[in-house]
Amino acid sequence: MTAEHPPGTSLAARHRVTRQGAAIDATLIDLADAFHTAQSIHGELRRRSQPVGLATVYRHLRKLAAVEALDVVIQPDGEAAYRLCGTTSGTEATAKPHHHHLVCRICGSTVEVDGPEVEVWARRVARKAGFSNLTHTVEIFGECERHAGRP
Amino acid sequence: MTAEHPPGTSLAARHRVTRQGAAIDATLIDLADAFHTAQSIHGELRRRSQPVGLATVYRHLRKLAAVEALDVVIQPDGEAAYRLCGTTSGTEATAKPHHHHLVCRICGSTVEVDGPEVEVWARRVARKAGFSNLTHTVEIFGECERHAGRP
DNA sequence: GTAGCTGCAAACAATTTGCACACCG
DNA sequence: CGGTGTGCAAATTGTTTGCAGCTAC
């Protein structure tokens, strides 16, 4: 087999390390407590005086998502939001096996939740209907304590 | 108060009845076994030689959704899909209280499912995190018996 | 008669892609 | 060097909106 990857340093362990890629990763880490759209990340980068092309942001996000280093949530309005997922630190972005989210509709803050019961339920219901090759999305939207009632 | 609405006849009971509105309703009824995007509905209408403007389709769908006569599912790719919901017959489109869907990724056929356990779980988890004013989406995508493996 | 539809095209917003150039390894 | 990553702008796609004319009530 070909050479192993040397101990990585950042999220993009197995990819070419570039200034913009790193900037995106860094931002993602800082904002890891909530979901953000590609656009808002792009904006944040600009705000930090580390402008990165919007297309590049999308490309990078897609790449991270492909390696499952990102959680992707499609909001009720159809816009996609991303958030760093699993073990943020460490050598390699290790994706968590499976989990869902509780997202604040106002500020985007997120709580990761898992529910074995739901997994089981989903599988059981689907099987019973003869469905296979399953996938499921479970997202809970609400207003976190801080924003209950008013922004 | 002004006069009550006479016993409605179609889905659009309290709206002006028009040829195109009726056509959309009819199509929706015929295709009530699966979710369809606005675009595909528009296509189906044209196929039936009852062309309706795409904008009108969207407007009508939005209206029906507002009255909760439609189920709306946002597919993993962000496109919205609609399907007639609840009691299709009868005077007024009575929305079902709450339920979720099992959708075939290939043909779009749908099975309505409900899971009290999930509802309870969602509420419990959210409450515990201090969230209020909840909403949740639970969709299961898979391949129905007929399409398992290959289209 | 009038307000709510409809159609069509233009406007929009999110995301993707083509292509020339930059730069990591 | 060689190929991957980047930028920018143009292209796509799903959905909304403005406006003149039509029509159900």
**Whole-number pLDDT of residue B26:** 94
Q: Which of B104, B107, B140 to mutate to test the interface with A (most CBs of A within 10 A)?
A: B140
- CA-CA distance, B110 to B113, in Å (whole number)? 9
Global pTM reads: 0.73
Question: What are the mean pLDDT values of chain A's consecutive 10-residue runs (151 residues total)?
Answer: 40 70 92 91 93 95 86 88 66 60 80 88 92 85 78 58
CB contact under 8 A, B126 and A140: yes
Judged by DSSP in three states, B132 sits in: strand
In terms of C-beta density within 10 A (0-12 exposed, 13-18 middle, 19 or more buried), how is residue B94 classed? middle
Residue among A138, A41, A54 nearest A81 (CA)? A41
In terms of C-beta density within 10 A (0-12 exposed, 13-18 middle, 19 or more buried), how is residue A6 classed? exposed
Residue B137 pairs in a beta bridge with A139
Judged by DSSP in three states, B16 sits in: coil
Q: What is the pLDDT of residues A7-47, one digit of tens each?
A: 434 444 457 889 999 999 999 999 988 899 999 999 999 99
Decide if A95 touches B, using CB distance below 8 A.
no
**C16 nearest neighbour residue (CA to C1'):** A55
Share of chain B above pLDDT 90, in %: 39
Decide if A65 touches B, using CB distance below 8 A.
no
A56 touches strand D (CB under 7 A): yes
> What angle do the packed helices A19-30 and A38-47 form, to 10 degrees?
110
Q: Which of B39, B71, B102, B123 to mutate to test the interface with A (most CBs of A within 10 A)?
A: B102
A52 touches strand D (CB under 7 A): yes
- CA-CA distance, B15 to A41, in Å (whole number)? 43
Residues 27-46 of B with CB under 8 A from A: none
Q: What is the pLDDT of residues B85-115, one digit of tens each?
A: 764 443 344 456 678 888 887 777 888 888 8
Cα-only R_g, chain B? 17
Residue among A32, A33, A25 nearest A50 (CA)? A25
